Structure formats: structure tokens, C-alpha cells
Amino acid sequence: MTGLAFLIPIALGMGLFGLAAFMWAMRSGQYEDMEGAANRILIDDEEDAP
Amino acid sequence: MNVPALLVDIGEEAAARRTTRFTVPGIKCAGCIGKIERDLPKREGILSARVNFSAKRVAIEHTPETSEDALIAALEAIGFEAQAVADNPMGTETGERRMLMRALGVAGFGMMNVMLLSVSVWAGAQGATRELFHWLSALIALPVIAYSGRPFFASAWMALKHRRTNMDVPISIGVVLATALSLYETATGGAHAYFESAVMLLFFLLAGRALDAVMRDRTRAGIGALLGRMGKSASVIGEDGTARRIEAGDLEPGMLALVAAGEALAADGVIEEGSSTLDNAMLTGESVPETIAPGDTVHAGAINLAAPIRMRLTQTADDTALAEIARLMDEAGQSRSSYVRIADRASRLYAPVVHALAALAFVGWMMAGAGWHQSLVIAIAVLIITCPCAMGLAVPTAQVVASGALLKRGLLVKDGSALERLAEVDVAVFDKTGTLTMGEPTPRIDLLDDEARRVALGLAQHSRHPLSRGLAAALSEVGVEPAKIDKVQEVSGQGLLGTWNGVEVALERSSGGVDNGGGAELSARLRIGIRAKTLVFSDALRSDARATIGALAEQGIAASILSGDNAVAVAQVAKQLGLPSRAAANPKDKLKALEVLKAKGALPLMVGDGLNDGPALAAAHASIAPGTASDASQQAADAVFIGRALMPVALAIKAARATMRIVRQNFVLAIGYNALAVPLALFGYVTPLIAAIAMSLSSLIVVANSLRLARVAGSAETVA
């Protein structure tokens, strides 16, 4: 039973962490351009080298 | 379109950098992203560029000295046509989607944690542990339900206030009652709490809503990328001779405006100085440019093609012929707002049945002597088990899958209601210019030799006249390299002059009109030194126009032509396609024709592009516009198709009907599950565990069934 005192807060904490991560991802615009993200991996970036 | 709000905040050194957004429809692949983001910052005054591929937009950070025009020129120099975007005009819709996504995130968090606790209870937690878990569940579930349930509660409240009912009413009642009962059970140490059912229900329904919003946003972004080509401001010449730009809404009669070649007129007026040709296709559907001279009356929305003109404004802002069309459109669009979506129609039948059933269960168990507490628990269990979770998903999942598949084929459907109405149409009315035809003059270039082609392209590139543009487009398409022409000049009403390798060349007005027995076709003359060749232009039919009409007929939809163009030109097209036609119809005539059709009980589909089609597009049961259509028409239409093919129109109907089939199947599946579960609930066998399993299973089945549409809509092209 005492295990619950640890496990429940840990479970809730992990859930909250996931929620916070989701909110952060949305606020920083990561869901704004899903197709673009898929396409960007195809860009060759060797030309970018200084 | 969603980027703006974010990017604006980033500019800490606001004084040194500014962000301007451009619509760039030409972004098609990863290469384009790379090119824009890599090459633009190399230019003077541009600090960085960021592409939003889904919205076809570029956000450019630049120094304050760099003007908008310079940025457009920079984009053009690397091969992209661009248009500056007004500040986030669609912010509200984006806000709605974000709100739904946040609510979905919160509901997901709540569902996982409450489920974690509930599973322990189901697994046999007893006494103090069970009570603790119930209290913890309540602690998590209450704020989550209050937050994530708002979209449903608000909508249900609005509906009830207007004495209507919609899908959200039974949902809200179910969620609120389940929560209240669970709270009571928790407080009295009861065995069953339904917190996880309430939260799970919200999660699934929010997933459906969020999908719906994503679909709307996605297509709005696509259409927004096409918008914004019309004259929204004019260059007004003051008394001191200086010119300044004034927004179309602030123009006043009596002002003198300068209209550059290629610019759209922002108000009605009379030409004071200069002669030119006007492209009136958007207003009248007439494909031949009109020649104008001082004293002629011109209308807003027309595009000045050849030379700069000065015009004295007579009617501005809300008094223009254009605004009159807009008013007609507004009125015509009223009828559509009263359309009831299938989900709401279903819930009008469904909700009373469910509520009656729950009431019956309560009364029945009371009479059987079960006591009010047990009777109430059973009645609420009936409500929870029948709560239209799968029904809430039945419509949006099918529509999102279908619209995604259509989007890949070049058709943007605005929202779910549009898909539902598209599925119902039984007659189709087509505009001619720009809809059945390409709306641009196409020359016969097979008569030209290589040299002539290169010279023609070299000259044509320099003009915005529709003939030149049509010629340039046709030549570029077959891979002709333009010849380098020196000293090119455009003489209004004459054509283009220049020299090539020391020889005088010209692309000019053809002296004699070519009569092919059916109205004058357009023609131009290409002159190289002393050699001259006449080029014949025609507004060609879209290559698959006939196939599209055939595909529509196969689906039982009869087509006809309703055009503003002259009778001869219309008759020609009508004969080629074998369709009945009506010519020389003005916007009011078109609107009336549609209303007559509707009065006869038909559900017409209008396909048109010009402003003159606007009222008809708004009045039709459903409407489609090509991507080249005027802004107003694209906004009035339910769907927009991109590209040179007309087939997306037939495909849209086919996919819309397939979608409705799947939606109906989904309803049957959802109701079928209820038919199985309701007896269990009525006889008091439903525990939270059974409710949770039934709910997720039925939702999964509905989603899986909807996914089949990707295949149906995807393969529709070959079938159609």
C-alpha cells in the first residue's frame, strides 16, 4: 500500500509531463506545417556549408 | 497562415527586422523549400526566410528598408510568383482548431490517468483503496471535463437557447449526468464510478471535432493561397500631381486614378486619358478583351491589359457594379446557412429515442420496486451506453479521410457540409469561359518553325496581354528557349516591337479578323523582318471536358451551360459537348436560372469562375470553382479545383457520394452497437468496465470503416 504513495504521484507526474510537452510542441508551431516537415528531410544541405 | 502570430513575437530587435508573409502557390516540393530558404537570405536586406509548405506561404524576415515590392521581386528572381498576405485574416478559425487541440490534449491526459486508476478498481481493489482511487479519479476528471467539455456544453447551450437540438445536447446531458452520478457514488463509497467513461467519451468526440477543424483549416489555407489577386487599392493622383495608394474602400467619386498595365480596377469610372484593352472576363465571362478609349465607362474588377490609363472615378466602394454582385451573393447564400448537417439530422431522431428509453428504464425499475437509487443508476447507465460516441466520430472521420484523398487530386473541399451537399446534387450547370474552357487563349503553334517559336516566346514574355501570355505559356510548355530580343517595347493597341540579331521583329495585331464561320476568333501576327505569320488563338476546351460531362451523366447528373458570353461562342462549345446552353446571361439571370431550378425541386451544382457567376455559385445547392476563379467566386464556392483538368468536378461528386455511403454505414454500425448494448444497460448489467470496452470498440470500428474511403476516393479517378 505504501508503494501507492510513490507510484500515483509518479504516474500523474509523467502524464502531466506528456501534456506539457504536447502544449509546448503546439505553442512552438510544430503542428503548423506537417507536410513541410515531411519534405524537409529531402533537402540536401551540403550547399549550406560555409 | 498559422505561423504569423508566432513570428511576430520573435522579433526582439523589432526596429532592425520585420517579418512579411507572402503567398507562394508555386511551392510544390522539397526542392522549392530548399531553394527559397537558401537563396533568399543571400539577397541584400533579407535576413531569413521560412517556408510553410502546407499553407504555401513564406515568412521573410527583412530590414525595414526593404520594401514589399523588392521582396516580391526577389522571390520572382528565383522563379516564384508571390503575393503579400494581409495580416492573418483567418486567425479566428485557427484559434478554434488550437482550442480543440488543447482540449484534446487535456482530455487525453485525463483519460490515461483515470483509466489507470479505474483498471485497478476493476481488477479488484477494495475498501479504502477503491475509495481513494475514486476520489483521485474525481480530482483528475472534474477539471478535465470542465475544460475539455466546453466546446460541447457551449454548443448544446446555444442550441437549447434557440429551442433546437443538435448532436451536442445528448452528449452534454450524458457527460454531465455520468459525472454527477459518479460523484455521488464516490461520496457515498459506492462500487461504480463512471469518470473514465465520461472522459473517454469527451476524448473520442474531441478527436472527431479536431479532425473536422483540421480539414477546414487545411483547405482554407489552400484557398487563401489562391486569393488576393484582385484590385484592393488604387493609385490616386492628387491635385498637386503626386500619386498615392488608397484602399478600395476609401476611394471617393471624383478622384482621378492611375491604373498601370496589369493592374485591376478598384472602382467604376470613366476613362479620361489613354487607351488600352480591358480583360472583363471576371465580370462578364466575355473572353475577348475589350478595347477602351477616353470617355468609355469601365467597371471595378476588370484588369487593364495594355497601357496605363487615367480614369475619373464615378462609383466607388459599395456602389460599384462589383459590390452589387457581392450583395446578390450575400442574399443568395442565405438559404445555404439553413442546411442541416446529417449528424444533426440524425441526432434529432436519435436523442428523443435515447432519452425516452432512459426515462422508461427509470420508471420501469421504480415500478419493479428497485428503489430510486438503483433505478437512477440504471437510467444513467442507459444514457452513458447510448451516448453517441461512435456517432460523433461517424461523420467527421469519413469526411476527413475523403477530403484528404480529394486534396491529393487537386480538389479542396471547404468543409463537411459541402461534402454532404455535393453528394445530393442532381443537375449540373456550367459556366463556359474559364470553367469548361481554359479561360486563356491558346495559340496554334504547330504552324511555326523553331526560329519563329523562339522569337515569339522572346517577345511574348514581355507583355501581360492575354494573347501574349497564352502564347508564352503554350511555347514554354513544349520547351522552347526564348530568343534574346533587344529594345522590346509595347505599343498600346499595336503590339510588341523589338530587334533580334539586327532584324526587326514584332508581335502585333492581325489586320484581318479570321472568320471561321462561328464568330471571330482571336489572332495575332508574328513578323520577323519581312516574313509574317498569322497566329490563330482560341479559348480551348479543357482537354477532359467531354469525359467529365460523360462521368457526370453516368452518375445521373445532367449538365447544361449557362454563360455570359455571346451566343455564337456559347453555341460552339455547346455543340462540341452536346449540351443544352443559354448565352448572354448577366449575374441576375444566372441567379434566377438557379432559383428556377431549385423551385422545380432540383438540387443544382453550379460550376463557375467569374464574378458574374458569384450569385449563382452562392445560390446553388453546391458549387465548385476553378483555382483561377475570382476571389469572390472561390469564397462562394464549396470546393475549388486546381489545375487544367475538369475531372475533379466529377470526382468530387463521386467521392462525396462514397463518403455519404460510408457515413450511413457508420451510423448503422454505431446504432447496431447500441442495439446490442442497450438491453444490457436496461437490465442493469452494465458496469463501467463494459461501458468502456463497448465505447472504444465501437469507435475503433467506425474509424476503421472510414479509413476505407482513402481507397475508394483514391481509386475513383480510374473508375470515373
CB B705 within 8 A of CB B668: no
User: Inter-chain contact B54–A43, Cβ cutoff 8 Å?
Assistant: no
Rounded to the nearest angstrom, the minimum Cα separation between A21 and chain B is 10
Rounded distance, CA B396 to CA B389, Å?
A: 12
User: Inter-chain contact B2–A39, Cβ cutoff 8 Å?
Assistant: no
User: Closest partner residue to B106 among A8, A11, A19, by Cβ?
Assistant: A19
- Identity (one letter) of the amino acid at B315? Q
Question: Closest chain B residue to A1 measured between Cα atoms?
Answer: B129
Look at residue B338 and give its three-state secondary structure.
Answer: coil
Closest CA to B212 of B424, B419, B5, B410: B419
Q: Does A23 touch chain B (CB under 8 A)?
A: yes
Rounded to the nearest angstrom, the minimum Cα separation between A22 and chain B is 7
Query: What Cα–Cα distance (Å) separates residue B272 from each residue in B76, B296, B663?
Result: 33, 8, 60
Grid-cell match 523589338, residue found:
B498
Provide the b/e sequence for B657-670 (b: ≥16 CB within 10 Å): bbbbebbebbbebb
Chain B residues at the A interface, defined by Cβ less than 8 Å, are 2-3, 6, 29-31, 33-34, 38, 51-55, 98, 101-102, 105-106, 108-109, 112-113, 116, 129, 132, 136, 140
- Identity (one letter) of the amino acid at B577? L
**Rounded mean pLDDT of A38-47?**
72
User: pLDDT at position B146, please?
Assistant: 94
Strand blocks (E) in B56-202: 57-62, 83-84
**Contact list, B29 vs chain A (CB under 8 Å):** 39, 42
**Contact list, A45 vs chain B (CB under 8 Å):** 34
**Contact list, A41 vs chain B (CB under 8 Å):** 30
Question: Closest chain A residue to B106 measured between Cα atoms?
Answer: A19
User: Inter-chain contact A36–B52, Cβ cutoff 8 Å?
Assistant: yes
User: Closest partner residue to B54 among A18, A22, A35, by Cβ?
Assistant: A35
Which among B168, B268, B431, B565 is annotated as catalytic? B431
Could you give the angle at the alpha carbon of B73 between the alpha carbons of B18 and B298, nearest 5°?
105
User: pLDDT at position B123, please?
Assistant: 85
**Contact list, A43 vs chain B (CB under 8 Å):** 30-31, 33-34
Query: What Cα–Cα distance (Å) separates residue B600 from each residue in B55, B524, B593, B597?
Result: 41, 46, 11, 5
User: Closest partner residue to A39 among B53, B105, B109, by Cβ?
Assistant: B53
User: Inter-chain contact B112–A15, Cβ cutoff 8 Å?
Assistant: yes
For chain B, 720 residues long, the average pLDDT of each consecutive 10-residue run is: 43 62 76 82 84 79 81 81 59 70 91 88 84 90 93 88 79 87 87 86 86 73 54 70 71 77 76 77 65 78 76 74 69 64 77 85 88 84 76 82 81 82 86 78 74 80 72 76 76 74 77 43 74 76 82 83 78 79 78 83 83 79 81 77 81 88 87 81 80 82 86 51
User: Inter-chain contact A16–B109, Cβ cutoff 8 Å?
Assistant: yes
User: pLDDT at position A11, please?
Assistant: 86
SS3 breakdown of chain B: % helix, strand, coil, rounded to 5? Answer: 55, 20, 30
Provide the b/e sequence for B553-572 (b: ≥16 CB within 10 Å): eeeebebbbbbbbbeebbeb
Question: Closest chain A residue to B55 measured between Cα atoms?
Answer: A33
User: Closest partner residue to A33 among B29, B52, B102, by Cβ?
Assistant: B52
Rounded distance, CA B396 to CA B403, Å?
A: 10
User: Inter-chain contact B116–A11, Cβ cutoff 8 Å?
Assistant: yes
User: pLDDT at position B720, please?
Assistant: 34
User: pLDDT at position B522, please?
Assistant: 66
Which string of DSSP letters, residue by residue, matches B571-637?
Answer: HHHHHHHT--EE-S--HHHHHHHHHHHHHTT--EEEE--SGGGHHHHHHSSEEEEETTS-HHHHHHS
Helix (H) or strand (E) holding B522: strand B520-528
Rounded distance, CA B223 to CA B55, Å?
A: 9
**Contact list, B51 vs chain A (CB under 8 Å):** 33, 36
Which string of DSSP letters, residue by residue, matches B18-71?
Answer: EEEEEE-TT--SHHHHHHHHHHGGGSTTEEEEEEETTTTEEEEEE-TTS-HHHH
Number of H helices, E strands in chain A: 2, 0
Closest CA to B443 of B510, B356, B381: B510
Q: Interface pTM (ipTM) of the complex?
A: 0.81
User: pLDDT at position B135, please?
Assistant: 92
User: Closest partner residue to A23 among B2, B38, B102, by Cβ?
Assistant: B102
Please indicate whether residue B431 is annotated as part of the active site: yes
Mutation target for A interface from B24, B39, B54, B102: give the one with most A CBs within 10 A. B54
User: Inter-chain contact B54–A36, Cβ cutoff 8 Å?
Assistant: yes
Rounded distance, CA B627 to CA B633, Å?
A: 10
**Contact list, B116 vs chain A (CB under 8 Å):** 11
More confident residue, A24 or B699: A24
Which string of DSSP letters, residue by residue, matches B281-334?
Answer: HHHH---SPEEE-TT-EE-TT-EE-SS-EEEEEEE-GGGSHHHHHHHHHHHHHH
Question: Closest chain A residue to B105 measured between Cα atoms?
Answer: A19
Grid-cell match 528531410, residue found:
A41
Q: Does A5 touch chain B (CB under 8 A)?
A: no
- Rounded to 5 degrees, φ, ψ at B282 are -65, -35
Mutation target for B interface from A22, A26, A28, A32: give the one with most B CBs within 10 A. A32
DSSP collapsed to 3 states, B136-160? HHHHHHHHHHHHHCHHHHHHHHHHH
For residues B672, B674, B677 and B682, what is the CA-based torsion angle, rounded to 10 degrees? -130
**Contact list, A35 vs chain B (CB under 8 Å):** 53-54
Chain centroid offset of residue B194 CA? 41
Query: What Cα–Cα distance (Å) separates residue B221 from each residue in B1, B166, B218?
Result: 7, 28, 5
Rounded to the nearest angstrom, the minimum Cα separation between B210 and chain A is 13
Look at residue B270 and give its three-state secondary structure.
Answer: strand
Closest CA to B423 of B158, B219, B713: B713
Which string of DSSP letters, residue by residue, matches B221-245?
Answer: HHHHHH---S--EEEEE-TTS-EEE
Look at residue B550 and give its three-state secondary structure.
Answer: helix
User: Inter-chain contact A36–B53, Cβ cutoff 8 Å?
Assistant: yes
User: Closest partner residue to B33 among A12, A31, A43, by Cβ?
Assistant: A43
User: Inter-chain contact A15–B101, Cβ cutoff 8 Å?
Assistant: no
User: pLDDT at position A47, please?
Assistant: 53
Question: Closest chain A residue to B38 measured between Cα atoms?
Answer: A48
DSSP collapsed to 3 states, B639-665? EEECCCCCHHHHHHHHHHHHHHHHHHH
User: Inter-chain contact A26–B101, Cβ cutoff 8 Å?
Assistant: yes
pTM over 0.80: no
Q: Does A48 touch chain B (CB under 8 A)?
A: yes
**Contact list, B132 vs chain A (CB under 8 Å):** 4
User: Inter-chain contact B54–A11, Cβ cutoff 8 Å?
Assistant: no
**Contact list, A33 vs chain B (CB under 8 Å):** 3, 51-55
CB B455 within 8 A of CB B485: yes
CB B611 within 8 A of CB B594: no
C-alpha cell at B622: 453546391
Hey, which residues does B562 pair with through a beta bridge? B582
Question: Closest chain A residue to B5 measured between Cα atoms?
Answer: A29
Mutation target for B interface from A2, A22, A44, A45: give the one with most B CBs within 10 A. A22
Rounded to the nearest angstrom, the minimum Cα separation between A2 and chain B is 11
User: pLDDT at position B145, please?
Assistant: 94
Residues 6+ apart with CB under 8 A from B51: A33, A36, B24, B27, B32, B33, B36, B37, B57, B58
Question: Closest chain A residue to B117 measured between Cα atoms?
Answer: A8
Query: What Cα–Cα distance (Å) separates residue B293 from each residue in B272, B290, B298, B412?
Result: 8, 10, 10, 41
Question: To the nearest whole number, what is the mean pLDDT of chain A?
Answer: 79
CB B224 within 8 A of CB B232: no
